[in-house]
Amino acid sequence: MCGIVGYVGPQQAEGVVIEGLRRMEYRGYDSAGVALVHDGEIAWDKRAGKLANLDKSLGDQPLPKATTGLGHTRWATHGAPNDVNAHPHLGATGRVALVHNGIIENFAPLRAELERAGHELRSETDTEIAAHLVEAAVTEGHSLTEAMRQVCRRLDGAFTLVAIDAHDPDRVVAARRNSPLVVGVGEGENFVASDVAAFIEHTRDALELGQDQVVTITREGVEVVDFDGNPAEGKPYHVDWDLSAAEKGGYDWFMRKEIHEQPNAIADSMLGRHDEQGALQLDELRISEDELRGVDKIIIVGCGTAFYAGLVAKYAIEHWTRIPCEVELSHEFRYRDPILTRDTLVVAISQSGETADTLMAIRHAREQRAKVLAICNTNGSTIPRESDAVIYTHAGPEIGVASTKGFMTQLVACYLLGLYLAQVRGTRWGDEIAAVVRELEQMPGHVQSLLDRGDEVLALAENLADARSVLFLGRHAGFPVALEGALKLKELAYIHAEGFAAGELKHGPIALVEKDVPVFCIVPPQGRDFLHDKMVSGIQEVRARGARTIVLAEEGDDDVAPYADVMVRLPKVPTLLQPMVAVVPLQLFACELATRMGHDVDQPRNLAKSVTVE
């Protein structure tokens, strides 16, 4: 989820580009770089880490003055986050500089082709091959626009590319396929960027580009063609929000924005994880298949939302692999003297990779010679560095304190881990694994369908704005969803909220049920009849005592309708994957209820995004 800026105009390009990158650092902060056209050459600088590192380098060694340039903030996919892999990348002779967002799926054969032709590729990235290919085409006499068009027709995957040519100093060319790119239209200056936030300070007039289009910007104007060279037009629109709102994409809260980013986050988490046959390939894992075959116990550690993701993972991992799986709160783990051996796999889940409790847990595990695998969203953070292996979630920066897309992508990573273990150990057939992978690939669409119907949940929040206690019930994989739903309400609305396993009701918690208390009920899919029927019994128990039941059930489940005061329909998905859709209405509800109560949704009281003290 990288951030890209390109500029042509009368201003000093470096300042415009750097400020645009600053507005978009939420899109990636593994590295940052800038390239300018000056006196027939490319002047550039790039640094690993946050934009501040690039700022310092430019302060120490300023680039020459220039009025055409581009910049990039990186969220690493191919290649480690270091100076060499940072963007921009240059062609073989340094004539063309290019930046990229997305993944070029066929980069391996293209890289081999370039190497056979004598090109020396310096980075591990898929991006560098595009820089070499574009430069080769302009060297043959094609314009930068034509070169970009030719190269894009050869690429597979999802990408945004932006390039400059040292011999064509008044032009920036960009292209997109399944990756964000917008044009900013100014007076005597024009922009391209991943997000309008990059140029909103300079212009509010924008063009939205279609799929498979190439755009050329100069001071004089904007030209758009498709990959085949046919003239095309961008869709003009006017940005009617201020700079601070633009940073949130027009949403009132970062959290709401992040809830709506979940379809893209899920898709990004799945990118490059499997081949065309559905066989999984977790390149970041770094634990051999022989070692994984020897694992005889899995312990998942995490705090808060990460802990609940681990509870979901337990159901999936044990079902697919038949390996015993425990889930522990990180801060309790080492104090109970857990039994660990060389054949224990400890899975540490942390969005930031800096959670102190979880870090202490993995250090204890490694002291006991257990293998440690991190599930994390932040490249280069401490927990992945101190683990034997890592699965990065690629959710992009999450600014809202209450985790949403972080939780969603942790679920994806946990599912991928479980399926990969099943593949390595042979506990599931290849076609069974491929079938689940296909179901996971449908999840962005399922989540989007719920977001499109979000007004139902917003209305519910309005009706329950005076509630002072809310209960959540679930069974099987729906139980952790109930816990997560309650946590979101506690974090944001500051009211009493509890999540329970539905079967536990009659063992004490039903004493909390009184007339009109709202009870959210997550109903398992109908295919698991014994789970479904038990859940219906739990709904009847609370309804008989006057509770107001808000029932989350799959489309077509009419058996539960008579026991629901409010129905929230979920897409039909397998039982183990239902948490990915069931949690979305609960996120929306918590966000909206807190908004109506006048709370700061992004920065709830007493909380911090990353807990770095134990």
Q: Tally helices (H) and strands (E) across the chain.
A: 20, 25
Q: How far are the Cα atoms of 41, 219, 255 from residue 454, in angstroms, in the given order?
A: 51, 42, 15
Residue with tokens 């770089």: 33
Q: How far are the Cα atoms of 352, 415, 485 from residue 391, in angstroms, in the given order?
A: 13, 11, 25
Q: Which pairs from 548-552 meet CB under 8 Å and 24+ separation?
A: 548/516, 548/517, 548/518, 548/519, 549/519, 549/521, 550/460, 550/518, 550/519, 550/520, 550/521, 551/521, 551/523, 552/520, 552/521, 552/522, 552/523, 552/582, 552/585
Q: Give 206: exposed, middle or buried? Use CB within 10 Å, 0-12, 13-18, 19+.
A: buried
Task: Compute the distance between CA of residue 353 and CA of residue 346 in angstroms, rounded to an integer.
Answer: 15
- Whether 521 is catalytic: no
Q: Which of 2, 303, 414, 591 is catalytic?
A: 2
- SS3 label, residue 565: coil
- Got the DSSP string for 149-218? HHHHTT--EEEEEEEEETTEEEEEEEEEESS--EEEE-SS-EEEESSGGGTTTT--EEEE--TTEEEEE-
Q: Pairing relation of β-strands 205-208 and 235-238?
A: antiparallel
- Whether 65 is catalytic: no
Q: Note whether 144 and 173 are within 8 A (CB).
A: yes
451, amino acid identity: L
Q: Which of 50, 534, 572, 609 is catalytic?
A: 609
Task: Compute the distance between CA of residue 147 and CA of residue 475 in angstroms, rounded to an integer.
Answer: 57
Joined together, the tokens standing for residue 295 give: 């694992």
List, by residue number, the catalytic residues: 2, 609
